[in-house]
Structure 1
Amino acid sequence: MNTEQMNRIHEGKGFIAALDQSGGSTPKALLLYGIKEDSYSNDEEMFELVHQMRTRIIKSPAFNSEYILAAILFKRTMDSTIDGRFTADYLWENKGIVPILKVDEGLAGLEDGVQMMKPFTDLHGLMRQAIEKNIFGTKMRSVIKEANAKGIKQIVEQQFDLGKQIFDHGLIPILEPEVDIHSADKEESEKLLKSEILNKLSALDKSVQLMFKLTIPTEDNFYRELIDDPHVVRVVALSGGYSQSEANEKLARNHGLIASFSRALSQGLTVGQTDEEFNQMLAQSIQAIYNASIT
């Protein structure tokens, strides 16, 4: 494990950029960027276009280590290059930004009020690839739709079981049991979720370290216990469908919680902008998200 990267994630000021839209969310991300579905005819062309978008973001002078601690990548992005270098190496060596890999393979169907992660095809093989590409940590997402105690317990168990396997490979896992912001019982779901997480943390071996990516809570500073737990390197927040301004306003009220935004980060960026317009818009977004993350 890279000690310099660990210190940066654990103690650094800033936030984590989520650049990990996968197959299901890529068409929407491209559409928001101004690229319609009739602009590409297959997945290869689609992923090439989204890599061009991500490359433009990463290479922007606004995207720098003064504000951004790490970036979460989709596997195809990890396997792709920027200026002849693999993306993770470009991020760390050219930008000083820690590379993290999204590893889940999507969501299973709704059951007991939640969507678990689909079974992994080859987690250990993926970990080997990640290590070869100089990845620091991983991220995996599941979703809570209802305050169902059975479903939430199962989601937390799956996240922790896989997280421990990832940690055993020498990577830092980010567990992401997202609570849907549109859930009618969001606050009750958060209470059940925190209780299950604290139970799991109390049973961990002292050596295990991990991170969490969570929905901004209904009650301000609700995740303070997680942030302060010795097992936890950092707790970051997803924007979850909130607009950038709304996500920043809610985040700023949660001390010690930092952003890991995707749609809220790229909000307002379009393919037709000049580089000056693009960089200015990105700089404004990064500054606003950074300000909300250092409260």
Structure 2
Amino acid sequence: MPNAKMTAKIGAGQGFIAALDQSGGSTPKALRLYGIEESEYDGEAAMFDLIHEMRTRIVTSPAFTGDKVIGAILFEQTMDREVEGKPTSQYLWEEKGVVPFLKIDKGLEAEKDGVQLMKPIPGLADLLARAAKLDVFGTKERSVISAANATGIAAIVEQQFEVGREVIRAGMMPILEPEVTISIPDKAEAEALLRTEILKHLNEMEGADMVMLKLSLPSEPNFYEPLIEHPRVLKVVALSGGYTRDEANELLAKNKGMIASFSRALSEGLSARQSDADFDATLKTAVDGIHAASVAG
């Protein structure tokens, strides 16, 4: 079973989850937004060193504490590295009171039936066992919906719950993330199909099993209330999905019981060239705003 203190902290929802899980494909963009161009480093190893420096600067900042940031999602390489002499996940929980999660998906398949399923996740059992030893509470696994296609959405939810069951068997908490692309014309219709499929699977769960959900901010405020209130759901969190931080916060505040799990919107405005004082002040503004939107309901 997942750690009881971590479960209680996430379930209470008095804050938000920081998504610090950019991986190989998205790291160059994250660094570019942080003010580091690809011409400034040579090769993947140097790139990952730089992104870990950025993440270390974020999580060690006095603005990043467990009273407002209740969880953080890590990339596998981040979990395997240290912050101030401790494994990152253990530093987060022991020093900051922030519950650690791990991104476990390995990217997306080609689009079929309006969705992109997750690629196979080789060695998942071993990865989960390694994460559990590092006090990681749960996982996050992302797939993408690009059309209101009933066949595709049924397949994407089935896959999410299938992976989620393996995570639960490993004694951890899965965050299922079937992301609806915010720019598609039939977004509301896709959300309706998604909600129906998720409810069907939740109602089929057995024992004391629970999941978390990470969903795009809905077109209709409080549309996911039946999921938020479901006894099988520990928490529903929102991804920023390409919205600016102000836009995402404004939309999130309209959804009672839903909290943020933002990535780019959290790091918006941070720069490698900022002084520590300016960096901490910028991060504090972001943390305060996202926290306020998360607890507004």
TM range (shorter): over 0.9
Contact 1:112 1:148 in 2 (8 A): yes
* Greater mean alpha carbon deviation, residues 249-258 or residues 201-210: 201-210
3-state secondary structure, aligned to 1:235: strand
1:23 paired residue number: 24
C-alpha separation in 2, matches of 1:2 and 1:209: 13
* Greater mean alpha carbon deviation, residues 23-32 or residues 39-48: 39-48
What's the CA shift for 1:234? 0.2
Q: TM-score, normalised by structure 1?
A: 0.99
* Correspondence 1:1-295 to 2 at 5 A: 1-295=2-296
* Greater mean alpha carbon deviation, residues 121-130 or residues 255-264: 121-130
Q: TM-score, normalised by structure 2?
A: 0.98
| CA shift digits 1:59-97 (9 cap, x unpaired) | 000000110100000000000001111000100111010
3-state secondary structure, aligned to 1:125: helix
What's the CA shift for 1:237? 0.1
What's the CA shift for 1:39? 1.2
Structure 2 unaligned regions, length at least 5: none
C-alpha separation in 2, matches of 1:7 and 1:179: 28
3-state secondary structure, aligned to 2:42: coil
Letter in 1 for 2:195: K
How many residue pairs get aligned? The number is: 295
Letter in 1 for 2:64: F
| CA shift digits 1:224-253 (9 cap, x unpaired) | 000111110000000000000000000000
C-alpha separation in 2, matches of 1:238 and 1:171: 21
3-state secondary structure, aligned to 1:70: strand
Letter in 2 for 1:263: R
Contact 1:72 1:101 in 2 (8 A): yes
| CA shift digits 1:45-66 (9 cap, x unpaired) | 0000000000000000000011
Contact 2:13 2:235 in 1 (8 A): no
Letter in 2 for 1:134: D
Contact 1:238 1:261 in 2 (8 A): yes
Structure 1 unaligned regions, length at least 5: none
C-alpha separation in 2, matches of 1:149 and 1:255: 27
Q: State percent identity of aligned pairs.
A: 53
Letter in 2 for 1:125: D
C-alpha separation in 2, matches of 1:260 and 1:245: 14
What's the CA shift for 1:134? 1.1
C-alpha separation in 2, matches of 1:279 and 1:149: 45
C-alpha separation in 1, matches of 2:174 and 2:280: 31
Contact 2:101 2:139 in 1 (8 A): yes
Contact 1:236 1:260 in 2 (8 A): yes
Contact 1:206 1:231 in 2 (8 A): no
Q: Give the ranges of 4+ consecutive aligned residues of structure 1 lying more than 2 Å apart after TM superposition.
A: none
3-state secondary structure, aligned to 1:107: coil
